[in-house]
Each structure stands twice: as structure tokens, then as C-alpha cells.
């Protein structure tokens, strides 16, 4: 697989530092944290960022992310459409193939499985059309936490299958895979062409319902069945991207270049 560093893993570092850290650690790709991108572009043009990628020998993999894209009111959804258009234009200029999009929470009155599918399919088709104008694809990342409308890999896969657009696929995160109760059999049922990115991380030994992002760990330091996940991905012929994404405040305090090297070594240990 091609290996990437996600900018959330080094959250307090700026985008230019992320590029230096990813290169120094031996990663080939960087997932760009959207807030860092906005800060950079407030002071420089996309062409300057593209030059930095070239200078450090790193390729952009995705922009992370547009969140809560489903079950929104008209004003919020109009902002999401505008954000999708804006980020797609930037992604095209950077030659960045993907933008990650995340489903919203369940509405207060709840929603049936079919209602969740219908809403998600509608939104992904509309946003996919916007992104496609710029030759950009969208990776739909389910969240395993209780209030998310799409918590499991099989439901996310059914949604993406119904969308039936070449530029719409899946992002699977090992933390959310475990927290939401997805199974290895769900990986084995995937079309590998529709899984765009695998987010890799580990987690503390806590009940699934208690797990929060701050409980993530470096790969190999927790209780997630990472080797089984990689084996299942290998069995379906998935060979795209493994990207380390860890939202752990303790890690954000570390010197980013040295920490990126530690991240790369941890990822290598579970491959």
C-alpha cells in the first residue's frame, strides 16, 4: 500500500511543517487538514503550496474534511455545497484526488435505515456532481460513534453502491470500524475499487460505547485488530492508501518531525 500521514495526527503543526515531517519520516502522501489549508491559503496561493509539495517530494492525497453533510437545514447545506465547490477547485489546482466527506448526526426524531440511505445518496450525488466538475472524488467516511447516522461499513458501502458514481467511494477508519461494531466480513464484501483510503490508528482498551477520539493510539499500541483488517483488505486486493489519522491531544504536543518518524515506524510494524 501507499502510505500517508494525516494532518490531524500533528494537529498543532502548520501545513508547511506537515510537509517537512511527512517527507522526513518517509511517507509518500499527505492528507491535508482543511483548517491548516485555509490558514495557508490566507497568506499564499495554491501554486505556492503545490511548489512546496514538489520541493519535499510529497503528493497530496486528500483534503480532510467536510463534516456533517447530511440531515442539515437549507442554510447549512448551502454552505456545504459552497465549501465542496471551493475545496474541489483547490484540490484540482493541487492535483489532490480526494476530499473526505462525513455524514451528519441522526435527526432528533430519528431516522430509519432507508431514510438514512436516501438522504445520504441524495447528498453524495449532489456533492459528487460539484466535485466532478473539477475532476475530484469524494471519500465518504462513516463514524462509529452513537449519534452518527452512518456507523458501520456495510451501511456506508450500501450507500456508496446506490450512489453509483465513479467519483464517490469509501473511507474506512480503523477506530470507527471497531467502535461502530463493523466486522471483518464487511471488509471482505467490499469492491476494492470503491475503498479510496484506509485510516489507520489504534485505541485504548475501553468499552466500544466509551471510546472517543482522544483514546486513539499509534498503530500496534492498542487493542484494534489491525493485522486482521490488513489481511482482509489484502484478500480483496486492496492496495491503495493507508493513512495514519490520530486525534490524541497528548501526541499533538510532541515535536512534529520526530513524532512523524515514530508514526511511520508504528505503521510499518502492523503492515
Give residue limits of the domains in the chain.
Answer: 17-225+232-253+265-270
Which fold is adopted by the domain 17-225+232-253+265-270? TIM Barrel (3.20.20)
The helix/strand/coil state of 86 is: helix
Over residues 14-21, mean pLDDT: 98
Q: How far is CA 55 from the centre of its chain?
A: 25
**Phi, psi (deg, nearest 5) at residue 103:** -65, 160
**Rounded mean pLDDT of 181-196?**
98
The pLDDT score that the predictor gives to residue 89 is 98
- Which one-letter DSSP state was computed for residue 214? G
List the grid coordinates of 181: 461494531
Report pLDDT for 131. 98
How far is residue 114's CA from residue 116's CA, in Å, rounded to a whole number? 5
**What pLDDT, in 10s, does the model give residues 233-271?**
999 999 999 999 999 999 999 999 999 999 999 999 999
pLDDT band for 60, please (50, 70, 90 cuts): very high
**pLDDT at residue 207, rounded to an integer:** 95
pLDDT in tens, 94-143: 999 999 999 999 999 999 999 999 999 999 999 999 999 999 999 999 99
- What does the mean pLDDT of the chain come to? 98
Average pLDDT over every residue of 17-25: 98
Strands 202-203 and 216-217: antiparallel
Cα–Cα distance, 63 to 52 (Å, whole number): 16
From the list 185, 269, 254, the residue with the least C-alpha distance to 220 is 269
Closest CA to 195 of 245, 234, 144, 246: 234
Residue 7's Cβ-count burial label (10 Å; 0-12, 13-18, 19+) is: buried
| Residue 27, pLDDT score | 98
- Per-residue cell: 205: 482498551
Percent of the chain with pLDDT over 70: 100
Give the pLDDT score at 258.
98
pTM of the predicted protein model: 0.97
pLDDT value at position 138? 98
**With the CA atoms of 113, 116, 118 and 121 taken in that order, what torsion angle do they form, in degrees rounded to the nearest 10?**
-120
Q: Are 216 and 246 in contact (CB under 8 A)?
A: yes
Cell 456533492 belongs to which residue? 127
Q: What are residue 242's phi and psi, to 5 degrees?
A: -115, 120
Q: How confident is the model at residue 185 (pLDDT cuts 50, 70, 90)?
A: very high
Cβ neighbour number for residue 69 with a 10 Å cutoff: 25
Cell of 164: 453509483
Amino acid at each position: 500500500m501507499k502510505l500517508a500521514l494525516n494532518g490531524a495526527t500533528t494537529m498543532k503543526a502548520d501545513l508547511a511543517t506537515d510537509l517537512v515531517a511527512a517527507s522526513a519520516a518517509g511517507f509518500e502522501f499527505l492528507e491535508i487538514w482543511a483548517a491548516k489549508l485555509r490558514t495557508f491559503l490566507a497568506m499564499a496561493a495554491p501554486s505556492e503550496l503545490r511548489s512546496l509539495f514538489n520541493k519535499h517530494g510529497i503528493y497530496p492525497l486528500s483534503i480532510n474534511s467536510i463534516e456533517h453533510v447530511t440531515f442539515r437545514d437549507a442554510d447549512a447545506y448551502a454552505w456545504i455545497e459552497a465549501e465542496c465547490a471551493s475545496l474541489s477547485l483547490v484540490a484540482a489546482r493541487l492535483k489532490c484526488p480526494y476530499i473526505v466527506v462525513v455524514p451528519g448526526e441522526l435527526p432528533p426524531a430519528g431516522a430509519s435505515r432507508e431514510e438514512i440511505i436516501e438522504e445520504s445518496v441524495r447528498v453524495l450525488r449532489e456533492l459528487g456532481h460539484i466535485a466532478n466538475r473539477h475532476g475530484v472524488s469524494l471519500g465518504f467516511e462513516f463514524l462509529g460513534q452513537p449519534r452518527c447516522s452512518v456507523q458501520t461499513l456495510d451501511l456506508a458501502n450500501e450507500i456508496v453502491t446506490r450512489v453509483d458514481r465513479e467519483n464517490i467511494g469509501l473511507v474506512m477508519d480503523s477506530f470507527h470500524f471497531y467502535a461502530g461494531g463493523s466486522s471483518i466480513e464487511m471488509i471482505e464484501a467490499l469492491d476494492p475499487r470503491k475503498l479510496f483510503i484506509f485510516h489507520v490508528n489504534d485505541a485504548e482498551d475501553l468499552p466500544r460505547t466509551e471510546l472517543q477520539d482522544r483514546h486513539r493510539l499509534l498503530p500496534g499500541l492498542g487493542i484494534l485488530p489491525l493485522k486482521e483488517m490488513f489481511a482482509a483488505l489484502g484478500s480483496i486486493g486492496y492496495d491503495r492508501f493507508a493513512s495514519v489519522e490520530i486525534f490524541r491531544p497528548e501526541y499533538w504536543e510532541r515535536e512534529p518531525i520526530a513524532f512523524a518518524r515514530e508514526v511511520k515506524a508504528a505503521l510499518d510494524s502492523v503492515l
